[in-house]
Amino acid sequence: MKSSKSSLYDDLKQQILTMELEPDADLDEMVLCERYGLSRTPVREVFRRLAGEGYIDIRENKGARVIPMNHSTLRHFFLVAPMVYAAIGRLAVQNFTRPQLSDLSTTQERFRAASNAGDASAMVLENNRFHEIMGEMSRNVYLQPSLGRLLIDHARIGHTFFRPRNDDMRQRLTLAVQHHDGFIAAIERHDEDAVVDLVFEHWELSRENMEMFIAPQGLKADALVDGPTTSSMEKTS
């Protein structure tokens, strides 16, 4: 059974990744103390741990907030993510252990089940865990923290990917599940080039979906401007 402190840590991570807690949202220390039956000391310990992992920001005399996202964040994310993912993939092939590969396969089955059930929150968390395990496989103390930080924003920017609104998005989600299967197979056969190729295919799929979220299609500003004018002209003609 998890302690209240562990539950607070896990719950805050989940709420941040699934956007239940939005970027820049303040965390009320007293409310969390009451909700989890904790004193301020363990709550602040959880805050410090989450801050060290990149989930929250602790500001002097202002308390804790969910790590924000802004133009600079997005630019850095899109510039660096594919490079880090590719390096992680190559090192994962070189350094993975059999228990880690088993964990990756088990996580993939949970991700597949969540996808089949349409459980968006579970998909976010299992996808995040899948790529965390690949980071652990890399056994690189420099890259793993960078990967962890990237995965936070990857989940937040791309969260709509796991809530497909049309057939095209559902097909993309099916392809993402297939990519995960491909990662497992390529790692198992020690095929670095195949893993790196899949990294870039998987990244391109994610990037396209994240761009849809950031700049959604289908909103026609001219319809908002021209519509009433056209209607008015028809009435006066």
Q: What is the sign, positive or negative, of the torsion defined by CA atoms of 11, 12, 14, 20?
A: positive
Q: How far apart are CA 118 and CA 112, in angstroms?
A: 10
Mean pLDDT of the chain: 89
**Spans of all domains in the chain:** 4-66, 71-214
Identify the CATH homologous superfamily for domain 71-214.
Answer: GntR ligand-binding domain-like (1.20.120.530)
Question: What integer pLDDT is reported at residue 207 of this predicted model?
Answer: 84
Per residue in 30-39, pLDDT tens?
999 999 999 9
Q: Is the pLDDT of residue 230 over 50?
A: no
> Of the candidates 68, 71, 78, 119, which has an alpha carbon nearest to the alpha carbon of residue 210?
78
Question: What integer pLDDT is reported at residue 166 of this predicted model?
Answer: 80
Q: Is the pLDDT of residue 15 over 90?
A: yes
Per residue in 186-195, pLDDT tens?
999 999 999 9
Which CATH fold topology does 4-66 show? Arc Repressor Mutant, subunit A (1.10.10)
Average pLDDT over residues 193-206: 94
pTM of the model: 0.84
Q: What is the DSSP string of the chain?
A: ---HHHHHHHHHHHHHHTTSS-TT-EE-HHHHHHHHT--HHHHHHHHHHHHHHTSEEEETTTEEEEPP--HHHHHHHHHHHHHHHHHHHHHHHHH--HHHHHHHHHHHHHHHHHHHHT-HHHHHHHHHHHHHHHHHHHT-TTHHHHHHHHHHHHHHHTGGGGS--SHHHHHHHHHHHHHHHHHHHHHHTT-HHHHHHHHHHHHHHHHHHHHHHHS-S---HHHHHHHHHHHHHHHH-
> Which tops the pLDDT comparison, 170 or 27?
27
